Amino acid sequence: MTKGQKTGIKHTKSTPVVMDFLRETYLEAQAHNRVVLRELADRLGVSAPAVSRMAQRLIRKGLMHREGACGLALSDNGIKIALKALRHQRIFEVFLVQKLGYTWDEVFPISKSAYCHLDDELIERMANQLNHPARCPHGDPIPTRDGKIYIMPATRLNELEPNYHGIVGRVDSHDPEMLKYLTSLGLSPGTSVTMLGRAPFSGPIRVKTKSFHSTFENEQVIGSELASHIWVESLP
């Protein structure tokens, strides 16, 4: 398949297909407070008609409903399945990092293609081995087994006021090169960060960082676009 080419969603009752579709719908709603059919198609890498056909089937199953002229929303049952899918994927990512030695920039493509084929018992055994982690390697919250999720209040790094001091909670990108670069800067979930200043007109940002496993502080200058992917939480 050439770059940018879109394929249709297979006409199948496969649970993994449904899980992935609902998971992506949930994430799109969380990111943009709405789900527009064409934007969901872009997210899934399929055609808009393919998304429409799948949505119609899931609407008939009571997992989704229409919202406005071209919007979609998950039903309560649809949200439950989406959160189960997120739990599977994010626990699997933690397992890849903590037990198999992968880095946080490597795990997303592996988990994306495999998580929905892992059964519940295997995932829960992984969770037990990992002592029930609360977050994935990128800092995203892991839903509980009973379908609850808690997202900590956070602010994008490029929107912080000068002298604000907090901790990197999560990074909302899975771009491997971006994550590798953030690693080189010592900016990953758990890093202490203080906003020192911002250049005008969306210029670069100057911050002071300290890793949770280091006593040394470093000053970093990063671009506003990169900083917009880093979410900072207040210190406990």
Residue 73 · residue 28 · CB < 8 Å: no
Half-sphere exposure of 90 (CA within 13 A, CB side): 22
Which residues of the chain fall short of a pLDDT of 70? 1-14, 212-215
**Residue 213: per-residue pLDDT:** 66
**Residue 215: per-residue pLDDT:** 66
DSSP code per residue over 187-209? -STT-EEEEEEE-TTT--EEEEE
Nearest CA to 213 out of 182, 180, 179, 188 is that of 188
**Residue 219: per-residue pLDDT:** 92
DSSP code per residue over 8-53? PPP----HHHHHHHHHHHHHHHHHHSS-BHHHHHHHHTB-HHHHHH
**Residue 214: per-residue pLDDT:** 64
Classify residue 105 as left (phi > 0), alpha (psi -120 to 50) or beta.
alpha
Distance CA 74, CA 62 (A): 9
- Structural domains of the chain in order of their starting residue, each with its CATH number: 15-74 (1.10.10.10), 155-234 (2.30.30.90)
Distance CA 80, CA 111 (A): 20
pLDDT digits (tens, 9 = 90+) for 35-72: 988 888 988 888 989 999 999 999 999 999 988 877 88
Instruction: Please say whether the dihedral angle defined by the alpha carbons of residues 58, 59, 61 and 64, taken in this order, is positive or negative.
Output: positive
**Residue 17: per-residue pLDDT:** 86
